[in-house]
C-alpha cells in the first residue's frame, strides 16, 4: 500500500493499488460480461476483474493535487501487466517515484488481482527481493519473465478488497488491524482505495497500539490522475 528518506506525506502513498486499457464495461454490476447475442461460442468473462486490471494499468500522476496543496508530492505511479500467460488472475508490476526522479523509485511492488467472492476483487501486495534489479520494468515487463511468483514476499494482511459501486467505481480497504506496520512507531496500517477509469485515490495511514495515527496524510489520500493506459507514457 516504506520509505524512510521522504517526508511523511510521501509515505502515505498506497500499495494498493498499484491495466489492460480502459473503457466502458457493460454488465459489470453483475460481475460477468457476456459476448453480444448472436456471437458463436460466447465465453463468459469476469468483467469486474478485467475492469480493475484495466483501470489500474498505465501511467498516473498526482501533479494536479500537488499544485493545489503543497502537503502532497508530485508523484508518478506506473503499473504494467506481467505474466499474462498465467491463468490465476491479473499480475501487475508497480513503481512509484517522485516526478523527475523516475530512475530512483522509492517503492516497487507486484500486485496480484483475483476474484474475492461475489462482487469483490482482491489486490494482494507482494515485495520483490533486491528490487533495484527491476527498476524501469514498466518499460519492458519481459524483464520479470524469469521471476517466479513464489520468489515474492507477500504482505500478509495487506490485501485491498475492492467492491463495485454504481455508477462507475470500485472502492475498498484493508481489513481491521491485519496489515502490520512498524514504520514510525506504528503497529498496523490502514489503506483505502477508490478506483475509476481515470484516477486512483489512495489513503494510507499508520496507527500505534492505542489507535493513534502516527504517519500518513490526515486530510485525505493521494489522487493519481491517469495520464495514459500505457505505463511507458512520459
Position 45 scores a pLDDT of 66
More confident residue, 173 or 21: 173
Residue with more model confidence, 234 or 116: 116
- The Cβ of residue 86 has, within 10 Å, a number of other Cβ atoms equal to 11
Assess contact for 195 and 4: CB atoms under 8 A.
no
Residue 108 has pLDDT above 70, yes or no: yes
Return phi, psi of residue 141, to 5°.
-60, -20
pLDDT, position 14: 37
pLDDT tens per residue across span 118-130: 889 999 999 999 9
Q: Percent of the chain having pLDDT more than 70?
A: 81
* pLDDT at residue 27 is higher than 60: no
The mean pLDDT value for 37-62 works out to 75
Using an 8 Å Cβ cutoff, are 57 and 228 in contact? Answer: no
pLDDT of residue 4: 35
Domain ranges of the chain: 8-228
When pLDDT is averaged across residues 60-82 and rounded to a whole number, the result is 95
CATH code matching the domain that covers 8-228, chosen among 2.60.40.10, 3.90.1150.10, 3.40.50.300, 2.40.128.590: 2.40.128.590
Name the residue among 182, 210, 200, 155 with its Cα closest to residue 58.
200
pLDDT of residue 17: 36
Query: Which SS3 state, helix, strand or coil, does residue 191 take?
Result: strand
Predicted confidence (pLDDT) per residue in 152-211, tens digit: 999 989 999 999 999 999 999 999 999 999 989 999 999 999 999 999 999 999 999 999
Q: What share of the chain is helix, strand, coil (3-state, %, to 5)?
A: 15, 35, 50
pLDDT over 60 (residue 87): yes
* Across 94-111, average pLDDT: 94
To the nearest whole number, what is the mean pLDDT of the chain?
82
What's CA 146's distance to the chain center, in Å? Answer: 23
Amino acid at each position: 500500500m516504506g520509505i524512510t528518506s521522504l517526508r511523511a506525506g510521501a509515505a502515505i502513498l498506497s500499495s494498493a493499488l498499484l491495466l489492460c486499457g480502459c473503457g466502458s464495461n457493460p454488465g459489470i454490476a453483475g460481475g460477468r460480461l457476456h459476448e453480444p447475442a448472436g456471437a458463436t461460442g460466447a465465453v463468459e468473462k469476469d468483467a469486474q476483474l478485467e475492469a480493475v486490471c484495466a483501470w489500474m494499468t498505465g501511467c498516473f500522476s498526482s501533479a494536479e493535487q500537488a499544485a493545489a496543496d503543497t502537503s502532497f508530492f508530485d508523484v508518478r505511479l506506473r503499473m504494467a501487466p506481467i505474466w499474462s500467460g498465467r491463468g490465476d488472475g491479473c499480475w501487475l508490476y508497480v513503481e512509484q517515484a517522485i516526478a523527475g526522479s523516475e530512475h530512483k523509485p522509492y517503492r516497487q511492488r507486484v500486485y496480484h488481482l483475483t476474484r474475492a467472492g461475489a462482487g469483490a476483487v482482491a489486490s494482494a501486495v507482494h515485495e520483490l527481493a533486491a528490487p533495484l534489479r527491476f527498476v524501469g520494468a514498466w518499460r519492458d515487463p519481459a524483464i520479470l519473465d524469469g521471476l517466479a511468483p513464489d520468489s515474492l514476499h507477500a504482505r500478509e494482511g495487506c490485501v485491498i478488497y475492492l467492491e463495485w459501486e454504481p455508477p462507475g467505481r470500485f472502492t475498498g480497504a484493508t481489513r481491521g488491524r491485519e496489515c502490520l506496520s512498524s514504520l514510525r512507531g506504528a503497529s498496523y496500517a490502514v489503506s483505502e482505495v477508490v478506483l475509476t477509469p481515470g484516477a486512483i485515490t489512495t489513503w494510507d495511514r499508520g496507527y500505534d497500539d492505542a489507535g493513534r495515527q502516527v504517519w500518513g496524510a490526515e486530510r485525505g489520500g493521494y489522487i493519481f490522475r491517469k495520464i495514459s493506459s500505457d505505463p511507458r507514457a512520459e
